[in-house]
Amino acid sequence: MDLLDRLLEHDAWTTRQLLEICATLPADQLDHEFDIGHRTLRTTLHHIINNMEIWSLLMAGEPIERQTAQSISGMLRRLTVAETRLQKIARKVKAENGWDEVWIDHLDDPPREKTFGTALAHVITHSMHHRAQVLYMLRLSGVEPLPEGDVFSWESHLK
């Protein structure tokens, strides 16, 4: 397995772990406001997945269909779709060595050219940043145990 596959699979696996933990929480805990980021567990998880969806749709040249499902089960389904789309795009970019090839981000005003390599890196690092916020909110909520969320934990899970 190459580095890109490791990063993408770890990214989705770790987000899925947090969603599964949050599936055990009552709605009031998912919607409790914190003084960080997108303020709630539910909104932050939705933001992570929405980012994966939008960027993968943009890179695929597909119409943007904003998903609003914010139930944990709905977000798990959305994650699976976005993860699959991102992996397909990444494998195509890798196979064609198209890291520096450009696509047009028509959501920017004015629209801008972006490279596939940088966009894929953005999605992965963006998710990591917000997962750290989710972990912080879960800690403040007294939820235990919590995953490390690191690549070694992901790799151990494969064995």
Task: Please give the pLDDT value at position 65.
Answer: 86
What are the phi and psi torsion angles at 105 (to 5°)? -90, 95
Residue 30 lies inside a defined structural domain of this protein: no
User: Which residues line the annotated binding site for a divalent metal cation?
Assistant: 47, 126, 130
Could you tell me if residue 72 is inside a domain?
A: yes
Q: What is the CATH number for 39?
A: 1.20.120.450
pLDDT digits (tens, 9 = 90+) for 87-134: 999 999 999 999 999 999 999 999 999 999 999 999 999 999 999 999
Sign of the Cα torsion 48, 71, 13, 92 reads negative
Per-residue confidence (pLDDT) for residue 59, from 0 to 100: 97
Annotated binding-site positions:
47, 126, 130
Cα→Cα distances 106→9, 54, 95, 115, Å = 27, 11, 25, 13
Evaluate whether residue 142 is within a structural domain.
Answer: yes
pTM for the complete prediction?
0.94
pLDDT at 34 over 90: yes
Give the mean pLDDT of 136-149. Answer: 95
Tell me the per-residue pLDDT of 54-64, one tens digit each, with 9 for 90 and over.
999 999 999 99
Mean pLDDT of 140-146: 96
Domain count, the chain: 1
Residue percentage of the chain with pLDDT more than 90: 91
In a domain, 29, yes or no: no
Q: Is residue 28 part of a domain?
A: no
Compute the average pLDDT of residues 61-80: 93
The reply to whether 88 falls in a domain is yes
Mean pLDDT of the chain: 96
Host domain of residue 69: 3-23+35-158
